[in-house]
Chains A and B, each alone.
Chain A
Amino acid sequence: SQQGEEDPQALSIQEGENATMNCSYKTSINNLQWYRQNSGRGLVHLILIRSNEREKHSGRLRVTLDTSKKSSSLLITASRAADTASYFCATDAYNDMRFGAGTRLTVKP
């Protein structure tokens, strides 16, 4: 069963703008991960944030985690057309990983 739920389901922005995607979940987790999927391809891991961390950065990515609200957000700054993809959050509850349905991001040139 799904654990994480991403919001919005779809997001369309112009190149150069920031994109924010949110993920909510229901149970306690060990860590939360974000993955990216280009159309018709496998998923690629972007970033992992542990339950005792609040914020993490990787290049143009910024992830926050609020365990009290059971939510996370992924921010992509200065978006590029190549960022067009689906983005999934995955909650890892002690080797039980669950994926959400994803946010479809379109970045227009």
Chain B
Amino acid sequence: DVKVTQSSRYLVKRTGEKVFLECVQDMDHENMFWYRQDPGLGLRLIYFSYDVKMKEKGDIPEGYSVSREKKERFSLILESASTNQTSMYLCASSLLGADYEQYFGPGTRLTVT
């Protein structure tokens, strides 16, 4: 079974802190994604990566950066956390190409106070 793990289920940070969210997948998937999920807005793509050291902006990259130094690991960085970044963050991975499903991690609920 594909497994996507995220470093924390719940996280509380203060405004202005630098926040790291880690995601690891164990199925050698090329693609990795970071989404945020807010009520009524569905999932919105922050960044994705299709290869090591490659990254592409999604719909809402402002205030975030990412790092992919190894194929299995994709990190989301909040450079200076703000209260409007309080959300559920979901990581996903998939094979490269057409007609592949995404496998999701359990999510990290981040609260910025």
On A, residues with C-beta under 8 Å from B are 1-2, 30-31, 33, 35, 40-45, 48, 50, 88, 90, 92, 94-95, 97-102
Assembly CA distance A92 to B106 (angstroms): 22
Q: Which residues of A contact B88 (CB under 8 A)?
A: 40
Assembly CA distance A8 to B106 (angstroms): 25
Indicate if the CB atoms of B98 and A101 lie closer than 8 Å. Answer: no
On B, residues with C-beta under 8 Å from A are 4, 31, 35, 40-45, 59, 88, 90, 92, 97-99, 101-107, 109
Task: Report the nearest A residue to B60, measured CB to CB.
Answer: A1
Give the contacting residue for A97; candidates B102, B103, B107; CB below 8 A. B102
Can you give 7 A-B contacts (C-beta < 8 A)? A40-B88, A41-B106, A42-B92, A45-B101, A48-B99, A90-B102, A99-B42
Indicate if the CB atoms of A31 and B99 lie closer than 8 Å. Answer: yes
Indicate if the CB atoms of A45 and B103 lie closer than 8 Å. Answer: yes
Assembly CA distance A92 to B100 (angstroms): 9
Q: Which residues of B contact A2 (CB under 8 A)?
A: 41-42, 44
State how many angstroms separate the Cβ of A40 from the closest Cβ of chain B: 7
Task: Report the nearest B residue to A3, measured CB to CB.
Answer: B42
State how many angstroms separate the Cβ of A7 from the closest Cβ of chain B: 13
Give the contacting residue for A42; candidates B97, B98, B99, B105; CB below 8 A. B105
Assembly CA distance A67 to B4 (angstroms): 32
Task: Report the nearest A residue to B40, measured CB to CB.
Answer: A101
Task: Report the nearest A residue to B90, measured CB to CB.
Answer: A42
Give the contacting residue for A33; candidates B45, B59, B101; CB below 8 A. B101
Assembly CA distance A40 to B37 (angstroms): 10
5 more A-B residue pairs beyond the given contacts A31-B99, A43-B104, A95-B97, with a C-beta to C-beta distance below 8 A: A1-B59, A41-B107, A42-B4, A42-B92, A98-B45
